[in-house]
Structure 1
Amino acid sequence: MLTALFGGTFDPIHYGHLRPAIALIKEVGLTQISLLPNNIPPHKPQPEATTAQRLAMLNLAIEDMPLFSIDTREISQGNLTRPSYTINTLQKWRSENGDRAGLAFIMGQDSLLSLPTWNNWKTLLDYCHLIICRRPGYAEKTDNVELQSWINAHQTKNSLDLHHSPNGYIYFAHTPLEDISATEIRKNINNQQSCNNLLPPKVWQYIHAQGLYSAKKS
């Protein structure tokens, strides 16, 4: 069985996360996707919502979606003061589950293009496959020769390869292009604009109840 991890700050979780993930379940034949909230993302601004609030929004977003679960290893008490390096998480998962278990890590094209800034990025495929979701405005190819050579060496166009090997492949999925970002949502909320079409209703209600992302807290 192929396990899939989907990391992010989820500040907040929105349809730009959920709709491509749902499409992946059908395209790749996943039985479950574990959402992996970061604690201290090394390459992004720190979350505005607290860890508890982000976790609450994740639970609300997926409570009627049994194909999703939440992996809290990066926000567990022992990791709260350390950056969330993906390679460390993958190594930990692999040590717990053995060398033969299938593991995929889901990321957007924007994250793929930034891989050369990641800690020990070339070793990621020693522990997992990478499933790449399309993002508006980002090309599949990159001008970074080293990164593109690495992609070419490991890319597969057959999703079955992800099931037949525990790690080592890069697969570009045909996920829907969702032009939604958490930055846009936070900005809209701060400007008192509605975002109810961009994220699940229960998450939207929670944001209002908590007064999140608004300069004028309610």
Structure 2
Amino acid sequence: MKRIGILGGTFDPIHVGHIAIATLAMATLSLDQLRIIPNRTPPHKPAPLASDAQRMQMVQLACASYPQWAVSDSELRRDGPSYTIDTLREFATPDCQLVLILGADAAALLPVWYHAKHLGDYCMVAVMQRIGSPFDDQQIRQQLPNLGITQIPWAGMDVSSSAIRQRCADGASITDLVPASVADYIHQHHLYGAPRD
């Protein structure tokens, strides 16, 4: 049975922290493939600043050197909010096991997700748990008893998409925060207030 990881996000923009999570998840979970899925309109966040097409292009650029990673526009093609359960239903097949990769903050909110009680019908969850910040999944296991949960310890990275957008607006370098191809794209398209050359 193939193991396929699902890593969704706004990716506004994708950054080295996302790449580190994806790389660690591939190795730790013995995944055969990782599907990286930009969200259209996350129900819990403000709308992204970059367009859907721009975010998709940045994710494709960032993932180009990773042959086991596939970028999917499945959520961008849908109207309305991006609900994880819809994505899982789309990708579920009898010959694969889906593993939803989440940060601890997102995982803590699982019980209130749209159709949360059905998540375990389609996937297990891998929680990226920052070393030194224990993640207690007991309440989630009680509320969602059919959902398999595993934790992946990781050191974390001090990088966020919002900080990158602010650095762009300030005209500061983002070289060490995003893949080079993504930095070039941001500057070429003057995203997030990046200065014109």
Q: Scaled by the length of structure 2, what TM-score is found?
A: 0.90
Give the match's secondary structure for 1:132. strand
Following superposition of structure 1 onto structure 2, how do residues 167-182 of structure 1 map, counting pairs within 5 Å? 168-182=147-161
Cα 1:111–1:137 change in 2 (3 A) is farther
Q: Distance in 2 between matches of 1:128 and 1:137?
A: 27
C-alpha contact (below 8 Å) 2:187/2:195 kept by paired residues: no
Q: Distance in 2 between matches of 1:28 and 1:105?
A: 11
C-alpha contact (below 8 Å) 1:51/1:75 kept by paired residues: yes
Please, which runs of 5 or more residues in structure 2 have no aligned partner? none
Alignment of 1:147 onto 2:140:
yes
Task: Name the residue aligned to 2:91.
Answer: 93
Task: Name the residue aligned to 2:121.
Answer: 126
Task: Name the residue aligned to 1:102.
Answer: 97
Q: Distance in 2 between matches of 1:73 and 1:202?
A: 23
Shifted more, 43-52 versus 116-125: the winner is: 116-125
Structure with greater strand share of residues: 2
Q: Distance in 2 between matches of 1:15 and 1:127?
A: 29
Task: Name the residue aligned to 1:202.
Answer: 181
Q: CA deviation at 1:178?
A: 1.5
Task: Name the residue aligned to 2:60.
Answer: 59
Shifted more, 109-118 versus 193-202: the winner is: 109-118
Q: Distance in 2 between matches of 1:31 and 1:196?
A: 30
Q: Scaled by the length of structure 1, what TM-score is found?
A: 0.81
Please, which runs of 5 or more residues in structure 1 have no aligned partner? 155-167
Give the match's secondary structure for 1:213. helix
Task: Name the residue aligned to 2:76.
Answer: 75
Task: Name the residue aligned to 1:47.
Answer: 48
C-alpha contact (below 8 Å) 1:134/1:174 kept by paired residues: yes
Give the match's secondary structure for 1:177. coil
Residues 189-212 of structure 1, C-alpha deviations (whole Å, 9 max, x = no match)? 112221111110110111011100
Cα 1:180–1:26 change in 2 (3 A) is same
Give the match's secondary structure for 2:126. strand
Alignment of 1:32 onto 2:33:
yes
Residues 156-207 of structure 1, C-alpha deviations (whole Å, 9 max, x = no match)? xxxxxxxxxxxx4111012331221111111121122211111101101110
Cα 1:47–1:136 change in 2 (3 A) is farther
Alignment of 1:189 onto 2:182:
no
Residues 74-120 of structure 1, C-alpha deviations (whole Å, 9 max, x = no match)? 112xx1x31111111112222xx23x521111111110112233212
Q: Distance in 1 between matches of 2:134 and 2:171?
A: 33
